[in-house]
Structure 1
Amino acid sequence: MTPRLTAAEQALQALGITEPEEIDIEVIALSLGAKVKYRQLESCEARIVGQAERAIITVDSRAAPRRKRFSVAHELGHWHRHRGLCLTCRTQDIGRPLSDGRRERAAGNPELQADAYASDLLLPGYIFRPMIAEVDRLTLSAVKTLADRFETSMTATTIRALSTNRFPSMLVCHSQEGMRWFRRPPLIPDRWFPRPDLLPESPSFRALFKGGPEPGQPAKVRASYWFDNSMAERFMVTEQTFRLPDGKVTTLLTLDPKMLDL
């Protein structure tokens, strides 16, 4: 059964968009009644002001190109879901990955609703699903190929791939203060909950605390480095890490398929 199109995907199909390279966010915004402007913003990263069927989206001109795209898409989410409200979006409001423990609160959160719309607009399922179906194993190399085509961040693209529930992988983000968030697909049992802190034996620890390079190739490590679980000693997992602009590191963990069957 073909999944039902979301509102964002319907907007794309109305424009005849069938390839990632056709997702011109400013053209899409115009088709939805919003004009995009860029200038330096001090108190927020993006905002939308609208009346009737017309709106102006303003995005901080100092942001990175892919961040600007997501910010525009995020504001279009507000235009679709929260028209009539006055909303300004700070950096921490846009593109916040949702940890498992907060999923139940997503439905009533305007910023998370706008993020969901943005994800559907920039990584539409009807285009993304056939492309990810050709990926046998989720690696950062595979993610980067997709992220470059869709002009999206590594984080957003990985989360979208995990949402297909095809890969025994999870994404975990750490700062030097500890784990900030993680995402895992439903196929991974709840028992595999990441440790709150990185262990020194992990290559991700070295990347975060010692300024080490991002591992070029996936590294196999003991599952116990990542999970405080009595069964973890029996397994190995694969980790790959990339840095975020704010000093955090994010790790793609791939579990041994046998870990899913316990």
Structure 2
Amino acid sequence: MAWVKSPTSVLRDIGISQPHEIDLDFIAYTLNAEVIYEPLQGYEANIFGSKDKAVITVNSGTQVSRQRFSLAHEIGHWTNDRGKNLSIECSTGDINQKQNGKGLTAHQAREARANVFASHLMMPEFMMVDIANMPVNMDTVRLIASTYNTSLVSSAGRLIELTKKPAMVALWSHNGNRRWFDRSTSLSDSVWPLQSIPHPHQAFIESNNTIVSDSKWIDPRSAKGEPLTESVFDNGFDVISLLSWP
């Protein structure tokens, strides 16, 4: 992805080299962006900037992990989308926008890029070299989340981006509809998850490193009836499935 300024450059410019040093409020400060936390109606965060100064407001009524991601998202806008004037209000849909959707509008593409920036700023690859060879399961997800102070969902997504193993993450509504998914680079593009789960209450039982048939999660057109390892967890809003192939 092309950046005006990459997340790695932002971190290295101020000497951040360890996970505990990733203080997003301080990073914003070094970029001349003031951060305010207050309740927002209908938005997760917003940014208003002109020339070399900006004010970022983050919704204080959400979970701390969501506030941190929203702040990193707005820092992404400030470093990559600024012009003469910058005024962006970001909804929950914007903060959740994925880059792998087809036919994205310019707005959706901008929000997806800010989300990628946020993920890379909070969980930089140069600090996560060991993750590439770790198991794709909840133990690794929780390790990432605790190390980088990130949500389980964003940690699971970053694990799939970095792993060398053939793997997939999918986010589901509680009624079984797929919200989004992502594949690791070593998993074939021909492998697709189901659009919806027939019996979600049975499928969404929490698990970790459980062997199941790929037909439980994978579309019949690409399922081969072969085993895979699943890890399933419910964060109270959605259900996340982590899948890993031998």
Q: Which interval holds the TM-score relative to the shorter structure?
A: 0.7 to 0.9
- TM-score when scaled to structure 1? 0.83
* Structure 2 counterpart of 1:124, one-letter code: P
- TM-score when scaled to structure 2? 0.88
Partner of 2:184: 185
Partner of 2:212: 221
Cα 1:136–1:125 shift into 2, 3 Å: closer
Distance between the aligned counterparts of 1:185 and 1:123, measured in 2?
16
Partner of 1:94: 95
Matched, 1:60 2:56: no
Distance between the aligned counterparts of 1:19 and 1:106, measured in 2?
36
**Deviation string for 1:35-66 (max 9, x for gaps)?**
11101111311011112211111111111111
How far residue 161 of structure 1 moved from its aligned partner, in angstroms, is 2.0
| Paired residues of 2:136 and 2:243 also in contact (CA < 8 A) | no
Distance between the aligned counterparts of 1:154 and 1:196, measured in 2?
22
Mapping of 1:8-87 within 5 angstroms? Answer: 8-83=7-82, 84-87=85-88
Aligned-pair identity in percent equals 31
**Deviation string for 1:194-226 (max 9, x for gaps)?**
1112243xxx64365xxx5x22x3221111122
How far residue 171 of structure 1 moved from its aligned partner, in angstroms, is 0.4
- Bigger CA drift: 105-114 or 59-68? 105-114
| Paired residues of 1:93 and 1:111 also in contact (CA < 8 A) | yes
Structure 2 counterpart of 1:140, from 138, 143, 168:
138
Distance between the aligned counterparts of 2:110 and 2:120, measured in 1?
16
How far residue 116 of structure 1 moved from its aligned partner, in angstroms, is 1.6
* Structure 2 counterpart of 1:114, one-letter code: A
| Paired residues of 2:210 and 2:231 also in contact (CA < 8 A) | yes
| Paired residues of 1:192 and 1:229 also in contact (CA < 8 A) | no
Cα 1:36–1:186 shift into 2, 3 Å: same
Cα 1:5–1:112 shift into 2, 3 Å: closer
How far residue 106 of structure 1 moved from its aligned partner, in angstroms, is 8.3
Provide the secondary structure at the position in 2 that maps to 1:232.
coil
* Equivalent pairs, count: 240
* Structure 2 counterpart of 1:88, one-letter code: E
* Structure 1, gaps ≥5 residues long: 257-262
| Paired residues of 2:233 and 2:241 also in contact (CA < 8 A) | yes
Cα 1:245–1:97 shift into 2, 3 Å: farther
| Paired residues of 2:18 and 2:127 also in contact (CA < 8 A) | yes
Provide the secondary structure at the position in 1 that maps to 2:242.
strand
Cα 1:15–1:103 shift into 2, 3 Å: farther
* Structure 2, gaps ≥5 residues long: none
Matched, 1:240 2:231: yes
* Structure 1 counterpart of 2:69, one-letter code: F
Distance between the aligned counterparts of 1:244 and 1:118, measured in 2?
20
* Structure 2 counterpart of 1:132, one-letter code: I
Distance between the aligned counterparts of 1:92 and 1:116, measured in 2?
14
How far residue 234 of structure 1 moved from its aligned partner, in angstroms, is 3.8
Partner of 1:167: 165
Partner of 1:127: 127
How far residue 232 of structure 1 moved from its aligned partner, in angstroms, is 3.4
Partner of 1:155: 153
Cα 1:6–1:125 shift into 2, 3 Å: farther
**Deviation string for 1:102-159 (max 9, x for gaps)?**
167488711111112111211112112x2314x4322111111111110111222222
| Paired residues of 2:34 and 2:55 also in contact (CA < 8 A) | yes
* Structure 1 counterpart of 2:150, one-letter code: T
Provide the secondary structure at the position in 2 that maps to 1:238.
strand
Cα 1:230–1:110 shift into 2, 3 Å: closer
